[in-house]
Amino acid sequence: MFALKSLLLLVAIASANALSSTLQQVTANFGSNPTGVKMYQYRPTKLATPTPLIIAMHYCTGTAQAYFQGTSLAQLADQHGFIVVYPNAPTSGGCWDVASTATLTHNGGGDSLGIANMVRYAIANWGVDASRVFATGTSSGAMMTNVMMGAYPDLFAAGSLYSGVPYGCFAGPNAWNTQCATGQLIKTAQQWGDQVRSGYPGFTGTRPKVQFWHGTVDTTLYPQNFWEEIKQWTNVFGVSQTPTSNLTSNPQSGYSRASYGPNVQAILAQGVGHTVPEHETDTLDWFGLTNLTPGSSTPGSSTTAPVTTTIPVSTPSPTGATAAHWGQCGGIGWTGPTVCASPYTCQVSNAYFSQCL
Ligand SMILES: *[C@@H]1O[C@H](CO)[C@@H](O)[C@H](O)[C@H]1NC(C)=O
C-alpha cells in the first residue's frame, strides 16, 4: 500500500514537472555581445500572443541550465505562454559583471549589453511584446537584474530580484566588492538614485517597477543591502521611504511585504540567509502575468524560427594560463587559472571569489 502510494506520488511529481519543450541555445547572431554572454531560451509549445519575455539570471557558479532546472519558471511558461531567456555568464566562475563602467552604462558594453541585445533580438524576431519584458535573478543574477533595470530602463517593464545589492553598489575595478557585500557601502537615497539615473542619462520614459527579496541573516550579501535598495528605488520613483503598507506573514510566515506605492516592493525574510528561495508565482504576479493564458495561435507567431543547438554538456576550462591583475583566480565553481601573473598573488575575497591583487 505504502509502495503504491509512493509510486503514485512519483508519477504525479513526474507529470507535474513534465515540460512541453526543452532548453535550447540560441546560436543566431543576436547583436553586439562584447563579453560573449550565451543565450538560452525556453519556448513553450503554446505561446500567448503577443508574447511576454522573462530574462532569468543565475547566481555565481550557476549556469543557464542550472537556473532553468532549479526554478519553476519553465513550468510556469508552459501554463501562461511566455518565453524565458536564460543568459549564461561568460566567466568560468559564473558571476555577472556588475562592476564595470561598461556594464553600468546604457549601450556601453559589458555583460549588460549582450543581455539587452537578446531582448532586442527577441522583440524583433520572436513576436515578443516590447511592453512586457521582465528581469529576475538570484544573488549575482539579482545584482544583474538591478543593472539591467538601471542601464536599460527602456527595455524592461518590471524586475524581481532575490538577494542582491543596489544598482552600482559593486561599481569599481574589482569584480567582487567586499565593502558593498558586507553592507558597509552606505549612501543617501539621492546618491543611490543618481547612480541609477547615471546608467542611462537623459532617459525620461517609464522605469521598470522593482520588487526585491532579502534574508535577514544573509552573510554573503548582508541585509543592509536591502535597506540601501529601498533608498535607491524609492528615490528613483520619487516616493517616500516610509512604506505605504507592510504586510506581515506575507507571502508566508516570517516574511513581510513592504510597498512604497505601486512601483517598489521590498520583501524581507526573517531568519533566511543567502539566498531567499525563488517565489516564482509571486514574481509572476508582480509582472502581471498571473492571468495570462497561452493563445490558440501556434508558436509560429514569430517571424523567424529560432536557431538552436543542443546544450553543451560542459564548458571547456582554460588551462595553463595565469590570471591578470584584478582577475579572478579562485572561488567555488571557478575553473579558470588559479595562479596570478607576477607580481600579483591570489587573495581570497570570499568563498565565491579570489582575486589577483
Ligand atoms: C515590515 O514589518 C516587519 C515586521 O514588523 C519588519 O520586520 C520589517 O522590517 C518591515 N519592513 C520594512 C521594509 O520596513
Residue 256's pLDDT is: 98
Ligand 1 centroid to Cα of residue 268, in Å, is 7
Residue 209's pLDDT is: 98
Distance of alpha carbon 33 from alpha carbon 31, whole angstroms:
6
pTM of the model: 0.82
Angstrom distances, CA of residue 296 to CA of 47, 48, 50, 69, 217: 8, 8, 12, 27, 46
Ligand 1 centroid to Cα of residue 273, in Å, is 17
Point out the ligand 1 atom lying closest to the alpha carbon of residue 230. 13
At 5, the pLDDT band (50, 70, 90 cuts) reads low
243 CB near ligand 1 (under 6 Å): yes
User: What is the residue-wise DSSP string for 220-242?
Assistant: SS-THHHHHHHHHHHHHHT--SS
**For ligand 1, atom 14, which residue shows the shortest CA distance?**
258
Asked if 193 and 235 touch (Cβ cutoff 8 Å), the reply is: yes
Ligand 1 centroid to Cα of residue 216, in Å, is 11
At 25, the pLDDT band (50, 70, 90 cuts) reads very high
Ligand 1 centroid to Cα of residue 291, in Å, is 29
18: three-class secondary structure by DSSP: coil
324: three-class secondary structure by DSSP: coil
250 CB near ligand 1 (under 6 Å): no
223 CB near ligand 1 (under 6 Å): no
Q: What is the pLDDT of residues 108-155, one digit of tens each?
A: 999 999 999 999 999 999 999 999 999 999 999 999 999 999 999 999
Helix (H) or strand (E) holding 112: helix 110-126
Ligand 1 centroid to Cα of residue 316, in Å, is 46
Work out the mean pLDDT of the chain and round it to a whole number: 89
Q: Count CB neighbours of 349 within 10 A.
A: 18
Q: Is a pLDDT exceeding 90 seen at residue 259?
A: yes
Asked if 121 and 131 touch (Cβ cutoff 8 Å), the reply is: no
Residue 140 annotated among the catalytic residues of the structure: no
183 CB near ligand 1 (under 6 Å): no
Q: Is a pLDDT exceeding 60 seen at residue 27?
A: yes
267 CB near ligand 1 (under 6 Å): no
**For ligand 1, atom 7, which residue shows the shortest CA distance?**
256
Catalytic residue among 100, 139, 302, 349: 139
- Report the Cα–Cα distance between both ends of the chain, in Å, rounded: 62
Reading the block at residue 110, the C-alpha cell is: 559589458
205: three-class secondary structure by DSSP: coil
169: three-class secondary structure by DSSP: coil
Distance of alpha carbon 276 from alpha carbon 4, whole angstroms:
35
